[in-house]
Structure 1
Amino acid sequence: MRKWGPLTAVCLGTFMLLLDVTIVIVALPDMAGSLGASLSELQWVIDIYALALAALLLGAGAAADVTGRRRMYAAGTAVFALASLACGLASSPALLIAMRGLQGVGGAAMFATTLSLLGSAYQGRDRSVALGVWGAVSGAAAAIGPVLGGVLTEALDWRWIFFVNLPISALAIWMTLRSVPESRAEGTRRIDWAGTAAFAVFAGALTFAVVRADAEGWASAATGVTLAVAALALAAFVVVERRAAHPLLDLRLLRRPSFAVVMLGALAFNAAAFGVLPYTSIWLQTLLGLSPVRGGLVVLPLAAASFVVAAVGGRLLHGAPARLVIGGGLVLIGGGALAQGVLEADSGWGVLVPGFLVAGIGVGLVSPALAGAALASVPQRNAGMAGGAVNTFRQLGYALGVAVFGTVVTSRMADSLQGVTGDAGTAQEAAHTLAGGGAAALRGRIPDETLHEAFASGLDGAVLVAGAVGVLAGLAVLVFLRPARPVAAEEKSRPATATAAG
């Protein structure tokens, strides 16, 4: 146990923080009914967590290098646990959203240190075994999230999807302090607080603009101002990173076509594969009447296929060109999404299964290959930065995907409902209610068949956009991602300060 104690401690935290990305999906209708949450509030319950991970991941990794990775991991787990308790006790959507954001802060501190802790605790064959187990646990978290969320919601209450984190967190902290050795980066390094703040403002403002644009209008002053804030924050981030002695992201890396296209693939990957799932879960439960458990089981083919393909394909595809694995996987994800765009008013959940299976195969190909392709596209000394960047772009893609596809869903719904309501404003309001899980409140004044037709139309539109994103990103990877060039001699002679993180 002493030998594998660090692996157990790190895997416990990783499983928990990645589980919370998907565990809330099947609980959304119950949250909406219990707290009276609107569609945009439900979107923020999902998005704020992914945004905090994306915005703080690189900064948390740099802070851990300075303050100590074990200390950062334990502190992040403690913050995550306290935020989970507050989420479970939340009495309003605003409080739940705020505490989900705090969960993301703790999750970023944990996620940024997991690989570096394993890299410092194990060497040689043991390190390979540890990283393999860590990867399998990461995949299992995604697979079990919707099912476990459904079981807890149905058997107990939606609040237990957060309360379950408390004993796991306590065990992870105890094992971390007992068995994980402390480690820091060699040499002196400063934390890029300005870059962290600028990126956080950019990501938050951009997502907020997309979430609110459907209600406010894309041409409204509020949307314009928010997008302007996002643009200014992005410009500030570029200026800060170009001048920083220890930047969060060396912008020169983006001049490398291979690195840039891998980041594009990471952004599109989480958006296309997972961005529509929250709305699919709401449709399954509020229109088809499935229980939370059955709603979670419907999504299981995607997660199970991805887990199996990732486990088996890791060996069978070893040495295969990354552009074929990632590009082909993204095309499959896009094709799986397009295959789901066949819903009609009388469709059942079974029509989604073929698309889920195809998308799951694509996820199993892309997920383990992205990080390796990012590391292979940069000099060794930038390995840690590349690994953090690919996870950052993945989480940002998920947050933006949920926001953008939510706008598509409600827009298509409003078009379908306007013939019944007779007024564009009333149709828009009804669409937001329907997409937010409020079908029961609409059934008295809108025919049930019309509600089914509207939701099917909204989901069809969203998965078609998601499919296009996946296919186009896959084609870009196939065209622009090239085999890594041998590292020049001068690159090899420089210290690889982030090898453990990679």
Structure 2
Amino acid sequence: MSGGQQGTELRHSPWLVLATLCLGFFMILLDTTIVNIAIPDMSAALNASLDQILWIVNAYVLVYAVLLITAGRLGDLYGPKQLFIVGLVVFTLASAACGFANSSGQLVAARVVQGVGGALLTPQTLSVITVIFPPEKRGAAFGVWGGVAGVATVTGPTLGGYLVTDWGWEWIFFVNVPVGIVTVVLAAIVMPNLKLNRRHRLDWTGTLLASTGLFLITFGLIEGEPHHWGKVWGPITIPELIGAGVLLMVLFFVHQYVTRKKEPLVPFSIFSDRNFSLMNWVVGAIAFAMLGLFLPLVIYLQSVIGLSALRAGIAVAPLSLLAMVIAPFAGRAADRMGGKWILFTGLTLWSAGMALVVWLARANAGQWTLLPGLLIAGAGLGMTFAPLQTIAMRNIAPPMAGAASGLINTSRQLGGVVGSAAVGALLQARLATELPRAAREEASTLPEQYRQQFVNEFTQANTGSLHVGAGQTGVPLPPGLPEQARQIIAAAAERAFREGFTHAMRLTLILPLAVLAAAALSCLFIRGRGRLSRRERDTAPAAVGG
């Protein structure tokens, strides 16, 4: 072997290795979105407020994002096969713990451990693909990998809807256990024990600065609205936490630059490739938009227009199916054409489709009202992930594959956690305005003695006490109401919640749509593919079958 491995021959087809990697990666990425479809059921079953639900969603992605750079380097140090299997075991055990949780606090803790397992596993997938496939076949391999990434992210609501409706919300976690066991066995058998050509060391100072900085930034974004962007720990405020996180990240990059001749976590030479640098921004923007768009949408489908989890999953299934069909073709086309215009077209269609979804959303919509927008978005999404990975990793030498894959996956997950946190915070802020407005309009239909209390309940429910579970109306009804008054008030509360949430959601989703449009425009700056560089030819593995 030359360039990427020493003393290790592939005993199995690289395509079989790729299938094993994709199975584990599919399970990890599925957990970033499958939880969304279960939000209403978890909210009702665990008596969790919207603030607590946001932590259940974000705890996993937060830890995942914080640890990815370090996990990429650990794969270089100890071997990607070892880290892949350890990550799978941790993730599988944590998934079982999630299913057995009986409070929001227990579920958040188990989701944190899930994030550790996911972070250990993910960078190893791109690292192994880059090493075992030669440059002329990497595009197809990244096409499969990218298709899995896209399909996993959008399959979550559909698969989750079936599991939640027929089995209960716990099964969105329990389903990972048999899949995890099968993948561990496959990985132990088929994955090569790769060793890179040079010895690595772990940059502990860089690890501490990056991990702490990313944690403070994302924690501040998630907790900002519940704390009214004020004090959170004694005299310490949310802006101070975010500012401290930004300062630590600046120190991290200064430290990386100063130690660039040693072996920093972020090798600056990688960013000399314009395409890799651009794709780090684009993949973060895509994740920002995807998690930001789906978080309010699944609540809308169930808690506003009244679909079950299964019917809500089926409602978004056309997006997933179309993306699944188109992704492999987009990957092969990227091999021939370079991917620039495929990616630009995909992001443009996805932006237009989701904009149509937002425009079509109404409080009285039906299951298929959003279908035209979802079909356009699905076509665009299928043209996105495979070309993106091909463009990003095309010129990365195998010895840098672990660091590069750690960086691009960090960008993806950091974009996701910032997107989920930012959209969640903006949604809560808009609900604080729209729910009282809708309540005031509905109060005129109530007996006079209940009107002010009715408005007050919606005004006070902007963060901590707002419930968005299936069949809930945002706020609890006061006890001791006469049955006739209870029915009238419950009907008014349902109308107020539906109208208020729909208006808040439509305004909120302008943010992820704007980020997605900016990502599409960024693709115009991608450098087109020329012939393979000498470095690519020299670092290509020599003995790759399949």
> TM-score normalized by structure 1?
0.88
Partner SS, residue 231 of structure 1: helix
Cα 1:154/1:190, change in 2 over 3 Å: same
- The match for 2:242 is 227
Cα 1:119/1:234, change in 2 over 3 Å: closer
Going by fraction, where is helix more abundant, 1 or 2? 1
Cα 1:388/1:158, change in 2 over 3 Å: same
Q: Is the 8 A contact 1:150 1:295 kept in 2?
A: yes
Q: What aligned pairs does 1:392-407 form with structure 2 within 5 A after superposition? A: 392-407=410-425
Distance 1:415 1:113 in 2: 45
- The match for 2:84 is 73
Partner SS, residue 184 of structure 1: coil
| 1:163 aligns to 2:163 (yes or no) | no
Cα 1:494/1:189, change in 2 over 3 Å: farther
Which moves more between the two structures, 310-319 or 15-24? 310-319
Specify which of 164, 168, 171 is matched with residue 153 of structure 1. Answer: 164
Offset, 1:163: 1.3
Specify which of 43, 46, 59 is matched with residue 35 of structure 1. Answer: 46
| 1:447 aligns to 2:458 (yes or no) | no
Q: What aligned pairs does 1:87-236 form with structure 2 within 5 A after superposition? A: 87-118=98-129, 133-218=144-229, 222-236=237-251
Cα 1:435/1:298, change in 2 over 3 Å: farther
Deviations 1:129-178 (A, max 9, x none): 76555444444433432222112211122111111211222222222223
Q: What aligned pairs does 1:237-386 form with structure 2 within 5 A after superposition? A: 237-244=252-259, 245-251=262-268, 253-254=270-271, 257-320=274-337, 322-342=339-359, 343-376=361-394, 382-386=400-404
Aligned residues: 497
Q: Is the 8 A contact 1:18 1:142 kept in 2?
A: yes
Q: Is the 8 A contact 1:68 1:182 kept in 2?
A: yes
- The match for 2:445 is none
Specify which of 447, 452, 469 is matched with residue 437 of structure 1. Answer: 469
Q: What aligned pairs does 1:399-438 form with structure 2 within 5 A after superposition? A: 399-419=417-437, 420=439, 427=458, 429-432=460-463, 433-434=465-466, 436-437=468-469
Offset, 1:351: 3.0
For 1:207, the aligned partner's letter is: T
Which moves more between the two structures, 248-257 or 420-429? 420-429
Distance 2:306 2:375 in 1: 23
For 2:433, the aligned partner's letter is: D
Which moves more between the two structures, 285-294 or 198-207? 198-207
Distance 1:218 1:76 in 2: 35
Cα 1:237/1:429, change in 2 over 3 Å: farther
Partner SS, residue 32 of structure 1: helix
Offset, 1:486: 7.3
Partner SS, residue 351 of structure 1: coil
For 1:184, the aligned partner's letter is: K
Distance 2:376 2:254 in 1: 42
Partner SS, residue 190 of structure 1: coil
Cα 1:379/1:65, change in 2 over 3 Å: closer
Which moves more between the two structures, 225-234 or 347-356? 347-356
Q: Is the 8 A contact 2:468 2:474 kept in 1?
A: no
Partner SS, residue 214 of structure 1: coil
Greater C-alpha Rg: 2
Cα 1:20/1:355, change in 2 over 3 Å: same
Structure 1: runs of 5 or more not aligned: none
Offset, 1:377: 6.4
Offset, 1:428: 5.3
Offset, 1:496: 8.0
Distance 2:469 2:276 in 1: 40
Which moves more between the two structures, 101-110 or 328-337? 328-337
Which moves more between the two structures, 314-323 or 342-351? 314-323
Offset, 1:440: 3.5
Q: Is the 8 A contact 2:135 2:537 kept in 1?
A: no
Q: Is the 8 A contact 1:189 1:246 kept in 2?
A: yes
Offset, 1:451: 1.2
Q: Is the 8 A contact 1:6 1:121 kept in 2?
A: no
For 1:458, the aligned partner's letter is: A
Cα 1:466/1:384, change in 2 over 3 Å: same
Query: Identity of counterpart residues, as a percentage?
Result: 31
- The match for 1:462 is 508
Cα 1:316/1:492, change in 2 over 3 Å: closer
Cα 1:70/1:428, change in 2 over 3 Å: farther
Distance 1:7 1:239 in 2: 36
Distance 1:125 1:374 in 2: 15
Distance 1:236 1:230 in 2: 10
Distance 1:162 1:441 in 2: 26
Distance 1:129 1:371 in 2: 10
Distance 1:263 1:332 in 2: 20
For the aligned residues, what is the CA RMSD? Answer: 3.2
Structure 2: runs of 5 or more not aligned: 1-10, 441-451, 478-488
Q: Is the 8 A contact 1:410 1:435 kept in 2?
A: no
Q: Is the 8 A contact 1:58 1:392 kept in 2?
A: yes
Deviations 1:31-62 (A, max 9, x none): 11122222222222222222222222222121
Cα 1:337/1:492, change in 2 over 3 Å: closer
Deviations 1:213-258 (A, max 9, x none): 2222346552122112211221231133223422222245546654
Cα 1:91/1:123, change in 2 over 3 Å: same
Distance 1:2 1:494 in 2: 23
For 1:149, the aligned partner's letter is: G
Distance 1:131 1:473 in 2: 20
**Structure with bigger RCO (C-alpha 8 Å, 6+ apart):** 2
Cα 1:294/1:250, change in 2 over 3 Å: same
Deviations 1:236-281 (A, max 9, x none): 3113322342222224554665443322211111112332212211
